[in-house]
A and B are shown apart, each in its own frame.
Chain A
């Protein structure tokens, strides 16, 4: 049995969700007979890790630091084994712009997009290119921060007049924004978990279904209680398999390890588009990965055990 440090909390905007994920992972580890040590990530992180000297570190951090490769880099330096993806894969999936470029290079469909830094607008007159971008992407379009783990800062622009305010909001979270063509269709998510032999396996597809109201009313659409999650998603013949294959392709293209979640859109004509990948997807009671695992007959404890086993097998740097 192992001593496992469970990293959680931290300063990210997703601190609360991370604390829930972390607590749940701790409980599972205890039930599995391991010694779990909770660490709320802060200025004393290195000291705490040195003190605890764990056999492995379970990264249950969401958002900045935990998903962008920062913590992973530190764990590499300390020579500690840790769960989930390595530094490079974290960087690649945290930055949605980088993700989309990589997907393009691998021939994986992702909605058309353009991305700009704040500097481009402030110093290079990128604002003057907005009409051209709007023509290329057409309305409605989605404006989002290049990097932000949760739904925060994502706006839906119906017309040119909405775009500047949406960009300002997105810059509240990151120094780079992404303008993306809106793909109408069904919201799908596929979690990928590695088998004991290291082979990534896609779990059943989860669909987020908005209940009632105007389709374009995003405010209503994403209010809690107005979205229902269906797992496995009820999809036409063969679509689930295609979605899962695509998710595994994304997982490989980004170089993920252990587990990850891929978010996609299924357009009305049956075409699939990948939106993003999450290197540390939520592990709370309502999160999609645990729901998908459950639908595949994998209990939460078994899921945690498997994620930990993969980390322990991976040689420490």
Chain B
């Protein structure tokens, strides 16, 4: 016998519920992709699809002793509700992390949140009415897409190149929106090691973006989860530090420098915005976990938190290099990809006749997975691109995973050549052949919509 409580269910009842669903629930991404993504979690699959940090490198005994200390010193507090804005013990740690990235913040301008994701949600909740414009990057963080959709925002995406968001294109778009009488509520950007693009916004663009925001009195949501995970080059100042807390809402998180399991992120924002976000957070969850905030406070008190970040940087640098080498060895000449200086992701773009959603189905039969590029767009673009994660698998798995993807890509490239009578497939580039720097611009030049064949029949309702 199964233990499931039998729900009452008939089609009549479904219709009754359907009438109760909010309009925003109808704005959902294709279920075909969702169902495919669920398959990436099978044990035998090498998943380059996730965005997971390697928590296995955190010492179990450290975790145990920190938790024991929380229990010894603050058991009742840890088990109790906390203030909506977060414990001072936690905001002190946040200020320290921000200082490490060159930002001075008044602790009164901080809001502790349940992961960085909640900041995106609260910013939307605070600023966005249905139909309002959000300006985001193209491609954008796939996890922000459902959030934007659930607030029924009209998302306008601005192209990236190797220097991050094209601020000139942003200005043109803002002009156009102004002519149309539409004022964007905020500009969403991940300046460092963009997810999924892997590129970093240049200093001149950062300066200009901050100016644009000030000139036009527009808010910018700066999402910076990976800023400290830099494997080469010098850090660039955050938009928040350049703007002086006028128009930039800063999103930070402990997820990538400590643990995503503790679900702690934060926002730093102009006070009036922060106050509204605080009200939004009260409505959403009253406060973030007291237990994990006290855990973080103990962790910061117990030693140098930067040592663990440094150890992660070492691990991830090796994994990034392994992935770049494997891409060189196993991806065809026609493919191009970004060379991230940090973060967790590489964005690869294949010839435009390859549909990466379909390719994922083929790749899954080889037990390997990635995120199809369409997940990073709200307008159906990205069909020939993919996001590859290098933080969640070891170097051996990364090499093998990329080899398997390369194999199915080569198959499709070969087949396409056969079908079009084009030249035979070129051999993959030699591992040591340096990749053309000009290729980088190509990577983010995304497939044009008109040329692609449309996708087919209904999925979810059909079965």
A: residues with CB less than 8 A from B are 11, 13-17, 21, 23-24, 26-27, 30-31, 35-38, 62, 118, 121-122, 127-128, 130, 142-144, 149-158, 161-173, 189, 208, 216-219, 222-225, 227, 229, 278, 281-282, 284-288, 290-291, 293-295, 299-300
Provided the pairs A16-B34, A219-B455 are in contact, do residues A173 and B362 lie with their beta carbons within 8 angstroms?
yes
Which of B22-30, B203-211, B244-252, B427-435 binds A? B22-30
A227 and B458 contact, CB distance less than 8 A:
yes
B453 and A165 contact, CB distance less than 8 A:
yes
B35 and A17 contact, CB distance less than 8 A:
yes
Q: Which residues of A contact B64 (CB under 8 A)?
A: none
B463 and A17 contact, CB distance less than 8 A:
yes
B415 and A168 contact, CB distance less than 8 A:
yes
Kindly provide the distance from the CB of A145 to the nearest chain B CB, expressed in whole angstroms: 9
Q: Which of A13, A31, A127 has the most CB of B within 10 A?
A: A13
Q: Which residues of A contact B359 (CB under 8 A)?
A: 172
A172 and B6 contact, CB distance less than 8 A:
no
Q: Which of A27, A62, A222, A229 has the most CB of B within 10 A?
A: A222
Q: Which of B4, B354, B364, B454 has the most CB of A within 10 A?
A: B454
Kindly provide the distance from the CB of B23 to the nearest chain A CB, expressed in whole angstroms: 10
B462 and A151 contact, CB distance less than 8 A:
yes
A19 to B, closest residue via Cβ: B38
B: residues with CB less than 8 A from A are 1-2, 4, 6-7, 9-12, 14, 26-32, 34-36, 38-39, 42, 352-355, 358-359, 361-362, 364, 380, 412, 414-416, 418-421, 451-463
Known: A35-B1, A151-B462, A286-B460. 5 other contacts (CB 8 A): A13-B364, A163-B419, A165-B452, A172-B361, A222-B455
Q: Which residues of B contact A163 (CB under 8 A)?
A: 419
Q: Which residues of A contact B362 (CB under 8 A)?
A: 171-173
Q: How far is the CA of A313 from the CA of B463 in the complex (A)?
A: 27
Kindly provide the distance from the CB of B299 to the nearest chain A CB, expressed in whole angstroms: 38
Q: How far is the CA of A62 from the CA of B35 in the complex (A)?
A: 13
A24 and B9 contact, CB distance less than 8 A:
yes
- Closest CB pairs A-B (n = 5): A154-B456, A282-B463, A218-B454, A294-B11, A225-B26
Q: List 30 A-B contacts (CB under 8 A).
A: A11-B42, A13-B364, A16-B35, A21-B463, A127-B421, A144-B456, A151-B32, A152-B36, A156-B453, A161-B451, A162-B453, A164-B353, A165-B355, A166-B453, A168-B412, A169-B453, A172-B412, A173-B358, A219-B380, A222-B30, A222-B455, A222-B456, A222-B459, A224-B26, A224-B28, A224-B31, A229-B461, A282-B463, A284-B463, A285-B11
Q: Which residues of A contact B453 (CB under 8 A)?
A: 143, 155-158, 162, 165-166, 169
B416 and A164 contact, CB distance less than 8 A:
yes
Q: How far is the CA of A38 from the CA of B26 in the complex (A)?
A: 31
B10 and A152 contact, CB distance less than 8 A:
no
Q: How far is the CA of A278 from the CA of B463 in the complex (A)?
A: 10
Q: Which of A143, A222, A288, A300 contacts B10, CB < 8 Å?
A: A300
Q: How far is the CA of A153 from the CA of B356 in the complex (A)?
A: 11
Q: Which residues of B contact A168 (CB under 8 A)?
A: 353-355, 358, 412, 415-416, 419
Kindly provide the distance from the CB of A52 to the nearest chain B CB, expressed in whole angstroms: 11
B6 and A27 contact, CB distance less than 8 A:
yes
B38 and A16 contact, CB distance less than 8 A:
yes
A281 and B35 contact, CB distance less than 8 A:
no
Q: Which of B4, B31, B416, B463 has the most CB of A within 10 A?
A: B463
Q: Which residues of A contact B28 (CB under 8 A)?
A: 224-225
Kindly provide the distance from the CB of B46 to the nearest chain A CB, expressed in whole angstroms: 16
Q: How far is the CA of A149 from the CA of B419 in the complex (A)?
A: 25
Q: Which of A171, A189, A286 contacts B415, CB < 8 Å?
A: A171
Q: Which residues of B contact A288 (CB under 8 A)?
A: 461-463
B14 to A, closest residue via Cβ: A285
Q: How far is the CA of A118 from the CA of B416 in the complex (A)?
A: 11
Provided the pairs A172-B358, A286-B461 are in contact, do residues A121 and B9 lie with their beta carbons within 8 angstroms?
no
A287 and B355 contact, CB distance less than 8 A:
no
Q: How far is the CA of A303 from the CA of B74 in the complex (A)?
A: 57
B412 to A, closest residue via Cβ: A168
Q: Which residues of B contact A169 (CB under 8 A)?
A: 355, 358, 453
Q: Which residues of B contact A24 (CB under 8 A)?
A: 9
Q: How far is the CA of A108 from the CA of B72 in the complex (A)?
A: 78
Q: Which residues of B contact A284 (CB under 8 A)?
A: 463
B11 and A290 contact, CB distance less than 8 A:
yes
Q: How far is the CA of A13 from the CA of B33 in the complex (A)?
A: 10
Q: Which of A224, A287, A293 contacts B463, CB < 8 Å?
A: A287
Q: Which residues of B contact A208 (CB under 8 A)?
A: 458, 461-462
A224 and B419 contact, CB distance less than 8 A:
no
Q: How far is the CA of A199 from the CA of B316 in the complex (A)?
A: 64
Q: Which residues of A contact B353 (CB under 8 A)?
A: 164-165, 168
A208 to B, closest residue via Cβ: B458
B380 to A, closest residue via Cβ: A219
Q: How far is the CA of A30 from the CA of B455 in the complex (A)?
A: 39
A36 and B1 contact, CB distance less than 8 A:
yes
